[in-house]
Each structure stands twice: as C-alpha cells, then as structure tokens.
Amino acid sequence: MYRRDWSLKPSGEAIRELLLKTWCTNAKGTTDAQGTFTVCGFLGEYVIQVSMADKTKSINAQLKAGGSNVVVIID
C-alpha cells in the first residue's frame, strides 16, 4: 500500500477513501417535536455529540445489527 518513500500507492488511496469517507457516518440534524433524530449508519462505535442552547454533551455508543436507540439527556 506504500512506496519506499512512504507515499501511498493507488491501493493505499483506495483503502484510505473507504475508511475515511465511504465507510464513515457523519450526520447532522435537528430533532423533531418529540426530541427524536433518526439516522442510518454503519455498524460500529460512534461518538454522539448533542447540543442545546449553550450546552453540549458527547457520549460513546455502539450501532449493532438490528438497530440501536441512544438516549442523550442534557442536564
């Protein structure tokens, strides 16, 4: 994947594209009237960040097969 000078070969670029863009879930949105935000993502671990007014909270969550519900409460 790398040349002797550590530059990426085309195969390394392809892996980088997959890992950092294609297989990555970045979603932003606003909750509905019930405070719900829904997004589809790849299975795996996520850092979820929620902001409300001047408060922000981040949590770690895992998206498993069959779906996951994550509740974030901002005190």
Per-residue pLDDT, averaged over 15-37, amounts to: 90
Q: Which pLDDT score is estimated for 8?
A: 95
Helix, strand, coil percentages in the chain from 3-state DSSP, rounded to 5: 15, 25, 55
For 36, the 3-state DSSP assignment is coil
Q: Which pLDDT score is estimated for 24?
A: 84
Please report, as a single letter, which amino acid is at residue 67.
G
Indicate whether 26 pLDDT > 90.
no
What is the value of pTM for the model shown? 0.66
Indicate whether 56 pLDDT > 90.
yes
Q: Which pLDDT score is estimated for 23?
A: 87
6-44 exposure pattern, b = at least 16 Cβ within 10 A, e = fewer? eeeeeeeeeeeeeeeeeeeeeeeeeeeeeeeeeeeeeee
